[in-house]
């Protein structure tokens, strides 16, 4: 991975933060490019040096987080579900503004489904229908079951503004996964 000029990182970072900010204030479609560049304190043209348009920016932002979550999955491969989930909830906590916007408010329609698909991919590696607790069940059914449940709980957590500390969420969610996979 060749080193990236810090100006590029700064511009992109500012734009990502700006879009998260703005999306928590108004509908995505109502955000203008001018607003975006103003908020990011960046020239309007700079946006087009990095992204096709605001949809591309949002796409890339979402994709980055999905990729990061995938990396976390790999690094948590050794752990049990509680430990693995803790790593995730720490990541949620650390990127609170993004996930909160994406799961609790205006951003919902863009991210939710992407997140669900991703969870499908991940749980597919975990589920075993040839033996153990899920023997005889349909693989797609059980995957869909846990993935939906997972998204639902995380959604609940953000919508209700962290009703429990993230490590409690991890523990309980981990326990529930353990019970089903």
Partner DNA sequence: CAGTATTGGTCCATTAATGAACAAATTCTG
Partner DNA sequence: CAGAATTTGTTCATTAATGGACCAATACTG
Quickly list H helices, 24-138.
33-40, 44-50, 54-75, 81-94, 96-104, 108-124
21-50: contacts with DNA (CB under 7 A): 32-34, 41-46, 48-50
**What's the helix, strand, coil split of the chain in %, to 5?**
75, 0, 25
Instruction: Report what 159 binds from DNA, a second copy, none; CB cut-off 5-8 Å by kind.
Output: none
**Residue 24 C-beta: closest distance to DNA, Å:** 18
Does 74 help bind DNA (rule: CB under 7 A)? Answer: no
Does 13 help bind DNA (rule: CB under 7 A)? Answer: no
Contact 151, 112 (CB under 8 A): yes
**Residue 68 C-beta: closest distance to DNA, Å:** 22
Alpha carbons 8 and 16: distance in angstroms, whole number: 12
78-97: contacts with a second copy (CB under 8 A): none
Nearest alpha carbon to residue 16 among 59, 52, 45: 59
Contact 151, 115 (CB under 8 A): yes
Which member of 8, 10, 26, 163 binds a second copy (CB under 8 A)? 10
Does 34 help bind a second copy (rule: CB under 8 A)? Answer: no
Q: Which phi and psi (to 5°) does residue 156 adopt?
A: -55, -45
Residues that bind a second copy (CB under 8 A): 6, 10, 41-43
**Residues in touch with DNA (CB under 7 A):** 3, 5-8, 10-11, 32-34, 41-46, 48-50, 53-54
């Amino acid at each position: 991975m060749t080193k990236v000029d810090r100006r590029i990182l700064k511009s992109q970072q500012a734009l990502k933060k700006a879009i998260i900010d703005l999306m928590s204030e108004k509908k995505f479609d109502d955000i203008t490019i001018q607003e975006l560049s103003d908020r990011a304190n960046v020239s309007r043209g700079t946006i087009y040096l990095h992204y096709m348009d605001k949809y591309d920016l949002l796409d890339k932002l979402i994709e980055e987080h999905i990729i990061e979550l995938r990396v976390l999955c790999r690094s948590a491969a050794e752990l049990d579900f509680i430990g693995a989930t803790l790593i995730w909830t720490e990541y949620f906590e650390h990127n609170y503004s993004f996930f909160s916007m994406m799961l609790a408010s205006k951003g919902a329609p863009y991210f939710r489904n992407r997140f669900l698909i991703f969870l499908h991919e991940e749980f597919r590696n975990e589920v075993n229908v040839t033996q153990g607790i899920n023997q005889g069940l349909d693989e797609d059914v059980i995957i869909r079951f846990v993935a939906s449940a997972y998204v639902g709980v995380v959604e609940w957590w953000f919508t209700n503004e962290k009703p429990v500390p993230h490590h409690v969420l991890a523990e309980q969610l981990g326990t529930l996964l353990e019970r089903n996979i």
